[in-house]
Structure 1
Amino acid sequence: MPVVELRQYTLHPNQRDVLVSLFEREFLETQEAAGIRVLGQFRDLDAPDRFVWLRGFPDMAQRRDALARFYEGPAWLAHRDAANATMVDSDDVLLLRPVAPASGFSLDLAAPFESRDDGRRDDGGLVVATLYAFDAPVDMDFLEFFAADLQPAVAAAGARVIASFSTEYARNTFPRLPVREGEHVFAWFARFPDMAAYARYREALIGAPGWRALAVSLARRLQGPPQVLRLAPCSRSRLR
């Protein structure tokens, strides 16, 4: 998908499973029918009241039309009050685009979602999103650094990098849903079989020859520390 939304919702205490159940029951097939590609939905392992999900669109114009169809359609109108009742904030949204033609998620979007269950199955592995913030748009120098130095280093330590994106600067074509503006972000996603594999990766990366120098070079380029999201796929998530 050339346009991807990374959406992080802050929820009221003890409401995440309520939203996950509602979302996976009422908002997957119905968004797809409106032209929205729901790529994945997750529980943030480091924030018990955060729900994270991704959706994609072919372009910004089709995003506008698909969102209008869904948010003016029967599924959202029937269940929006229940969904909104779980949320403190739903405006933490990044618009992203792949940094290269092949750097988006490779998913079979024609395949149906997993069958419904109670939303608690915990065998979907681990997806880790790493977000870098810059004081200017991501440039070719950083993209070359990531491709030639950083990605090989994390791959050698055990990370399976599955996608990389930077900020999409096009005007928000559906202003009814705010997005974060005026920011410059690079995001990459990796998949791990489980938390133990992720722990082994972290240990291997920190102990790898040359990692300290790479980490220093990375830090000099960034506006601040990376944001790392450890995400457990929900039971019907495509991305897992």
Structure 2
Amino acid sequence: MNGTATFEDRLRAVARERYHDRHPFNVRMHQGELTPAELRRWISNRFHYQRHIPVKDALITAKLETPALRRMWLRRIHDHDGAAEGEGGIERWLRLGEAAGLDRARLMSGQDVLPGVALAVDGYVNFCRLRSPLEAVAASLTELSAPDIMRTRTAAFERHYRWIDGDGLAYFRTRVSQGRRDSQEALALVLQWARTEGDQDRAVAALAFKCDVLWSLLDAVDHAGSADTTDAEDTKETEDETEDGTQ
């Protein structure tokens, strides 16, 4: 079996090299190149993922064997659902949507969720439902990279998307400290539980799977934007042909 330090290096390498901050859509977002429509599409579809975070965390909590571990993981549900109405990460994401001009009721309805996004999120929730505690916790280690992307995203929104009210960025700001805390707790568990080389391989594979989930989500959002562009171009060509009297 590889030593603990080597195993941790493998995990951190996956989180660093396969995280979705490298996805072309995120790169364009952080460079200020997204249109309002693209940004709203991302907010709507990412919300589908956000609202399922406490669901997958409830599934993980049910797998944990001690009260101390369950109390620790339950805090993640509180972070997203809040201790009362109007609190928590899901509420902050809804406020981001409102700041971007999206209707709260429409966001909650899920009517704009793309099939590819729904498939990716379902895959992640089912992974946490069916796999071992080690694998489910290891999949959460994308949070090792979360603080950096949240800082980058906050700066990008403040610089490039000033039409979004700054109060709507509270989710990003809050997740910097939460992500750092959560990732360190999860990492400690994974390093403790992965006692064999097979365990380590499964943990690394679980983290890679989660990176693929986040990447697939952005693939779906990005492709939808490309399809919209194609449809607009086709419509323009049809209009031009009609004006010329040709079909």
| Common fold: TM-score over 0.5 | no
Task: Pick the TM interval, shorter chain.
Answer: under 0.3
Over alpha carbons, which structure has the higher Rg? Answer: 2
TM-score (ref. length: structure 2): 0.25
Greater strand content: 1
- Taking structure 1 as the reference length, the TM-score comes to 0.25
- Higher helix share goes to which structure? 2
